[in-house]
């Protein structure tokens, strides 16, 4: 199929048409993402606080905002915390998701379908609904998690408030994030696995390859593109996790000890009205995100050139 596409002659008669087709999408992206991005860059070099919000002209301060941020140890704490949380959650999600995908290929139809439906239910849950349910599961007095742990013999969990301690706060947040992210990984990897033609395995088996060798030489290379892109999305998503942290903080977390990048910027900007500082922080985070994913971008762009 790809061959016929490549062989097809490019349409040259209407060179304007493709650009016209791109206009609506481009216009929306420029208005709602491009302009704010630019505006944010400008704001990050200005003193832009509550006074400016009420009409006073913003004052140019050069790199002051950035300097203030970089010298504030709290930013680095938040950043380190975010990266640690992101990598832990993303790694756990990828490992569990891939394991479940492999499991799906190994079992018969009945169990596979059961697991797929369960994963779908978790995947389909709106974030706020699942966060609310998990709050209820971890509720200190009537929550079923504490009941279970106490029942098993951990008496210290009677009436335990999970969200008050930063570490257990992040355990809960991590469980919620992993619970809702695993289905996507499992399905994507499973789809990738089932695209591997069975004949390849059979041919390799005929050539005397062991099960492990077949996995390493056939499965891994063929599924690698899927793993790469899913892994990248996971890292990006887990780095910008906001809703989960914000809502759990609302439910009783100690804000200062549990802020991640997203909630930090939110509270800095919309909470304290320090828009200039928040804009600088945003740019800072943007660069870090892009930096983290540069490796992936390079691979994807290289693939793109093969088209």
- Please give the biggest Cα pair distance in the chain: 78
Q: Which of 40, 165, 219, 255 binds another protein (CB under 8 A)?
A: 40
Radius of gyration (C-alpha) of the chain in whole angstroms: 24
Site for another protein in 215-254 (CB under 8 A): 225-226, 229, 233, 236, 239-240, 242-243, 246-247, 250-251
Site for another protein in 271-300 (CB under 8 A): 275, 278-279, 282-283, 285-286, 289-290, 293, 297, 300
Distance from C-alpha of 236 to C-alpha of 273, rounded to nearest angstrom: 27
Task: Output the smallest distance, CB 38 to another protein, in A.
Answer: 8
Q: Which of 43, 78, 172, 248 binds another protein (CB under 8 A)?
A: 43
Under the criterion CB under 8 A, does residue 45 sit at the interface with another protein? Answer: no
By beta-carbon proximity to another protein, the closer residue of 170 and 265 is 265
Q: Which of 191, 217, 220, 254 binds another protein (CB under 8 A)?
A: 191
- Angle of helix 166-194 relative to helix 109-124, nearest 10 degrees? 130
By beta-carbon proximity to another protein, the closer residue of 67 and 129 is 129
Distance from C-alpha of 198 to C-alpha of 250, rounded to nearest angstrom: 51
Q: Which of 55, 212, 301, 302 binds another protein (CB under 8 A)?
A: 301
The answer to whether 103 and 113 have CB atoms below 8 angstroms apart is: no
Under the criterion CB under 8 A, does residue 22 sit at the interface with another protein? Answer: yes
47: which strand partners? 59
Under the criterion CB under 8 A, does residue 266 sit at the interface with another protein? Answer: yes
Q: Work out the angle at residue 164's Cα, subtended by the Cα atoms of residues 161 and 167, and round it to the nearest 5 degrees.
A: 105
Of 105, 255, 96, 272, residue with least CA distance to 184 = 96
Under the criterion CB under 8 A, does residue 304 sit at the interface with another protein? Answer: yes
Task: Output the smallest distance, CB 166 to another protein, in A.
Answer: 20
Q: Work out the angle at residue 121's Cα, subtended by the Cα atoms of residues 117 and 125, and round it to the nearest 5 degrees.
A: 165
Task: Output the smallest distance, CB 239 to another protein, in A.
Answer: 7
């Amino acid at each position: 199929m790809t061959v016929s596409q490549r062989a097809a002659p490019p349409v040259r008669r209407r060179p304007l048409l493709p650009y016209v087709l791109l206009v609506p999408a481009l216009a929306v992206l420029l208005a709602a993402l491009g302009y704010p991005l630019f505006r944010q860059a400008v704001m990050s070099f200005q003193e832009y606080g509550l006074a400016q919000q009420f009409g006073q002209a913003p004052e140019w301060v050069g790199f002051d905002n950035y300097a203030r941020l970089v010298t504030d140890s709290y930013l680095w704490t938040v950043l380190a915390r975010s990266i640690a949380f992101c990598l832990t959650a993303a790694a756990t999600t990828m490992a569990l998701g891939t394991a479940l995908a492999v499991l799906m290929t190994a079992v018969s139809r009945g169990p596979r379908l059961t697991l797929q439906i369960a994963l779908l239910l978790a995947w389909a849950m709106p974030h706020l609904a699942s966060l609310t349910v998990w709050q209820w599961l971890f509720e200190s007095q009537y929550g079923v998690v504490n009941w279970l742990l106490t029942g098993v013999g951990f008496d210290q969990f009677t009436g335990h408030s999970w969200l008050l301690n930063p570490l257990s706060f992040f355990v809960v947040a991590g469980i919620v994030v992993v619970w809702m992210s695993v289905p996507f990984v499992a399905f994507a990897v499973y789809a990738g696995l089932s695209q591997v033609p069975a004949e390849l395995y059979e041919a390799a088996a005929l050539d005397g390859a062991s099960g492990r060798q077949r996995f390493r030489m056939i499965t891994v290379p063929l599924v690698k593109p899927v793993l790469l892109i899913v892994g990248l999305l996971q890292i990006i998503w887990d780095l910008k996790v906001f809703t989960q942290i914000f809502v759990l903080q609302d439910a009783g977390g100690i804000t200062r000890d549990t802020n991640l990048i997203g909630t930090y910027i939110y509270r800095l900007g919309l909470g304290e009205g320090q828009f200039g500082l928040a804009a600088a922080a945003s740019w800072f985070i943007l660069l870090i995100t892009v930096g983290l994913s540069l490796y992936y971008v390079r691979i994807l762009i290289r693939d793109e050139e093969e088209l």
